[in-house]
Amino acid sequence: MVKDYYGTLGVDKDASPEQIKRAYRKLARELHPDVNPEDGAQERFREVTTAYEVLSDPKKRQVVDLGGDPLSNGGGGAGGGPGGGDPFAGFGGLGDIMDAFFGGGAGGGGRGPRSRVQHGSDALLRMELTLEDCAAGVNRDITVDTATVCETCDGGGSRAGSAPSTCDTCHGRGEIQSVQKSFLGQVMTSRPCPVCNGFGEVITDPCQQCSGDGRVRSRRTITVKIPAGVGDGMRVRLAGEGEVGPGGGPPGDLFVEVEEQPHERFTRDGADLHCTVEVPMTAAALGTTITLDTLDGSEEIPVEPGTQPGHEHVLSGQGLPKLRSNGRIQGHGDLHVHLDVVVPTKLDDQQSELLRQLATARGEEQPEPTVTPNGNGHGNGFFSRFRSFGHR
């Protein structure tokens, strides 16, 4: 079924380009995702934008007026898709085949002028966030410098009271044709008009504000909502906040890329957090309780008597939110606390004597080393695990 682009914008089939532009701007302001959070508004915004792109292009609008759809597979026209009475329909028509060989329309069947109204490009902005910001999510005001619609000419590019004139070189066709001799005989080829750049019209009295481009550079402040659980390299998309296209065309999107800053205590592995806590040898042997400042507050970490180097204590749910592709949070990661038992390197005489007495009491004056296989030829103690963790 052919789409009703006129009905999507709410205009008549004989509407002027200015009427089509005004209808699009009115609907775009009402349906923009940042203004209208209702379900279906974003999809309707895309439909309105697509309709405007089609009807603002004279060539595509002509296809619509002939009963076709310029965005369908067959390229539009009565009969619609492949097999609709045109033996070349599946290949885009005979003109496209000749273009592939000769670089332009054959036999004078050119493509016509292209629309001055173009879709805008996307913009990218990077934002530095701390681990705490990534965990909780933030709303932050940012200043962007992008192309916006020229308010003086409303995107038309001409000075008030004037309008573009038909190009004298191509007479409004947007292309010029030439005849070349080849082994097949004389072949007519087409190329964009160098005077009007393929638009078919020339702005003879351009707007002084935008110099005929229909847009100007503008600095503005917008609020970005960063969801909880984002990580380094993730991007947040703001629909319609990018660059406005030439001729006042629909804007692209703005993408905000997260740059997560290193944390002084925690290392991140997805939604999980890791940290290393040093415990004195005596505390590891006798047992104790240590207090750890987490992202959510203070937690008591029990150190059982006889704790060995590399022991890992897991605080379930104390990691970061797990952000899914649909933007929703599904659970939290864990906080892994790695205990590093610190052996003293400097002892005074009294401390040395006390350790000797302990060694004598335990029969460890001349300890026999115990070697056990680990099955893979690599150490699996604390330090090997710590090195592995440090390279995550």
pLDDT in tens, 192-210: 899 998 999 999 999 999 9
Same domain? For 325 and 346 the reply is: yes
Q: Tell me: is residue 167 an annotated ligand-binding position.
A: yes
Same domain? For 308 and 382 the reply is: yes
Q: Tell me: is residue 134 an annotated ligand-binding position.
A: no
Q: How many domains does the chain have?
A: 2
Give the whole-number percent of the chain exceeding pLDDT 70.
81
Same domain? For 171 and 281 the reply is: no
Considering only CA atoms, give the Rg of the chain: 35
**200 within a domain of the structure (yes/no):** yes
Read out DSSP for 318-381? -S-EEE-TTS-EEEE--EEEEEEEEPPS---HHHHHHHHHHHHHTT-SSPPP-----SSSS--S
Given a contact cutoff of 8 angstroms between Cβ atoms, the answer to whether 336 and 318 are in contact is no
Q: What is the pLDDT of residue 135?
A: 94
Q: Tell me: is residue 275 an annotated ligand-binding position.
A: no
**314 within a domain of the structure (yes/no):** yes
Q: Tell me: is residue 210 an annotated ligand-binding position.
A: yes
Residue range 289-337, pLDDT digits in tens: 999 999 989 999 999 999 999 999 999 999 999 988 777 888 999 999 9
Q: Average pLDDT in the 333-349 region?
A: 93
Q: For residue 381, is pLDDT > 90?
A: no
Residue range 207-231, pLDDT digits in tens: 999 999 999 999 999 999 999 999 9
Same domain? For 116 and 231 the reply is: yes
Q: Average pLDDT in the 113-131 region?
A: 91
Same domain? For 309 and 239 the reply is: no
> Tell me, what CATH number does 368's domain have?
2.60.260.20
Domain end (from 239, 261, 283): 261
Same domain? For 116 and 225 the reply is: yes
Same domain? For 257 and 299 the reply is: no
Q: What is the pLDDT of residue 372?
A: 66
**12 within a domain of the structure (yes/no):** no
Same domain? For 255 and 299 the reply is: no
Domain end (from 203, 234, 261): 261
Residue range 39-86, pLDDT digits in tens: 777 888 888 888 888 898 888 888 888 777 888 754 444 334 333 434
Same domain? For 352 and 323 the reply is: yes
Same domain? For 244 and 143 the reply is: yes
Same domain? For 150 and 191 the reply is: yes
Q: Is 246 helix (H, G, I), strand (E, B) or coil?
A: helix
**371 within a domain of the structure (yes/no):** yes
Q: Average pLDDT in the 122-141 region?
A: 94
CB atoms within 10 A of CB 261: 12
Cα 288 to Cα 272: distance, rounded to the nearest angstrom: 25
Domain end (from 224, 244, 261): 261
**Secondary structure of 130-181 as H, E, C letters:** CHHHHHHCEEEEEEEEEEEECCCCCCCCECCCCCCEECCCCCCCCEEEEEEE
Q: Considering the chain, what is the average pLDDT of its residues?
A: 82
pLDDT band with cut points at 50, 70 and 90 for residue 388 = very low
* Structural domain boundaries, residue 335: 267-390
Same domain? For 277 and 243 the reply is: no
**324 within a domain of the structure (yes/no):** yes
Q: Tell me: is residue 153 an annotated ligand-binding position.
A: yes
**18 within a domain of the structure (yes/no):** no
